[in-house]
Structure 1
C-alpha cells in the first residue's frame, strides 16, 4: 500500500491494546461479558487481553471493533496497537481512486444552489462549499469572507458569523452537544477534545456547556436564523454521508445541505444569484 496515502490514526495517541479496548468498552457502557458475547469470545479471554496477558488475532480484533462500532481510523489504530498492519487506506479527495466520489460531491454541492451546501470533515473543517454558501456568508458578514474554514469557529467567534446568528445560543448549544458526543464516542481523540476546549473558551459561552447534557433530548429539527441589516434568512439542514465506506476519508466526510424554512428565505437566496439582493455588499 502507498505509504503516502496511508496515515492511520495519526491524531490518536498510541496506547497498549488492552488499555485501548478497555477505554472503548467503558465508553460504550459494556461489561466484559457483554462485549465478549458480542465478539464471539469468552469473558476470560477478553480479560486477559485487557490486562496484557494475551494477544488478540486480527479476526478477533475485527469482531471487537464491530461490536464497539469503531470508526475506520480507530480500527487502524487498534490494529497498530496490536502489532498488525492497518487495514483501511486514507486517500486524498483528489486521488484517482476517489475520482467518481469527487464528481458526486461536486454534483451535490452544485445541485443545491441557490441554497448553501458544504463538504465537512469530522473536524468540522469546510473542505468545499457551493457558490450559494459564499453568497450567504458574505451577505451576513458585510461583504467579506469568513476568517475561518471551520464551522465551529465561524459560529463561536464573535467577530465572525456568530454575530449574525439570531438564535445563537440555540444553534451553538446544539453544536457543543455534537462535540461532547464526539469526544465521548471516540476515546483518545485528542483533536476533538482540543476543539471542544477551544469553543468553550470563547467569550459568552455559558458555563453549563462545559458538562455534557444527558437530561434533555435534542430538538427534532434545528432552524438556523441569520439576520443582518433587516435581512433575515432561516434554514434547516440535511446531512448526507457515504454508505459502507472502506476508506478513512469517506468515513469522515459529510455534506450539509441547507434548505429555506420559509418563502422569504427562498426568494432572497434566488435574488442573491442575480445580484438583485445584497448588492451593497458586492466585492
Structure 2
C-alpha cells in the first residue's frame, strides 16, 4: 500500500486496522487506553472525530511505529507530529557521531547499522571479514547480502538454521509494523534457494544457548558469531526510531583470536 493510499483511508478504518492487527477487541483496547468502548466504536465508524491528543494516545497504546502514527494523524486531519530527518542533516550530527563511536569501539568485531528496510546505513571495518567477496550491490541490503546465492549464503555453514532465524526476525518485524515493503522483501528472500533443512521452530541442541552464524572464511577456518541488536531508547524522530545496530561477537575462542590477529592494533578486553 502506498503512502497516498494510506492518507486517503479514513481515520476510523486505519484505527480498526491497527486494533485488529494487534488482535485486540474494542473492549480490550478501551480498557488499555482508558476510554469508553462506545467512544472507541464511534471513532472507528466515523461518528466521532478524534482530537490530536486522542490519536497519539491510542497510537501509544497500540504501540504503533512513529511513521504510522504520522499516517494516523494525517488521516484524522492533523499535521504529522514526528520528523524524519536525513542522516546528513545538522540535527542528526550527534546521532551519527554516536553511531561511529559505537562502530569503531566494537572493532575488531564486526558491526553494522541498518534502517527499517534492512538497508545498510553504516558499518565498521571489521565487517569486511564477514562480507569478503560479496557483490557491493548486494551489500546495500543486509538480509539480501546474507541469504542471496551470490552473497554470503554459500559460505554459511548452518545456512538453513541461520536463514530460518533471519526470516523469523523479519516476520516479527512485519507483524509489528505492517510494512508492505517488508512483506515484499520477505517474499523475495523466501524464494532464494537453500539446500539445507530449515527448522520451523528454533530449538537448542546440546549446549546451545543461541543461534550462531557459522561462516567459512577464505583462510579456510570457520568463524562463529552471535549478535546483539540495539536501538535508540527514546526516539522522537522517525529516522532515529528505525535505526538498528547489530553487533557481532565471537562465539568461540578461535574466532576471537582470529579477529584480534586481523586487527592487531586493537586491544580487546
Give the structure-1-normalised TM-score.
0.84
Match of 1:179 among 159, 170, 173: 170
What number of residue pairs does the alignment pair up?
A: 258
Match of 1:154 among 145, 149, 162: 145
Give secondary structure in 2 for the equivalent of 1:204.
coil
Partner of 1:262: 252
Matched, 1:29 2:23: yes
**CA displacement, residues 13-44 of structure 1 (integer Å, 9 cap, x when unaligned):** 33321111111111111110111122222111
Give the structure-2-normalised TM-score.
0.88
Seen in structure 2, the aligned counterparts of structure 1 residues 84 and 131 have a Cα distance that, compared at 3 Å, is: same
**CA displacement, residues 71-121 of structure 1 (integer Å, 9 cap, x when unaligned):** 111111110111100000011112111211111100000011111010111
In structure 1, distance between residues paired with 2:85 and 2:66 = 13
Unaligned 5+ segments in structure 2 are 265-269
Q: CA deviation at 1:166?
A: 0.5
Residues 134, 145 of structure 1: 8 Å contact kept: no
Partner of 2:229: 239
Give secondary structure in 2 for the equivalent of 1:158.
coil
In structure 1, distance between residues paired with 2:195 and 2:36 = 47
In structure 2, distance between residues paired with 1:106 and 1:95 = 16
Match of 2:40 among 40, 46, 50: 46
RMSD (CA atoms)? 2.5
Residues 52, 78 of structure 2: 8 Å contact kept: yes
In structure 2, distance between residues paired with 1:257 and 1:208 = 24
Moved more, 121-130 or 227-236: 227-236
Matched, 1:110 2:104: yes
Matched, 1:166 2:157: yes
Match of 1:128 among 111, 122, 127: 122
Partner of 1:277: none
Moved more, 265-274 or 175-184: 265-274
Partner of 1:252: 242
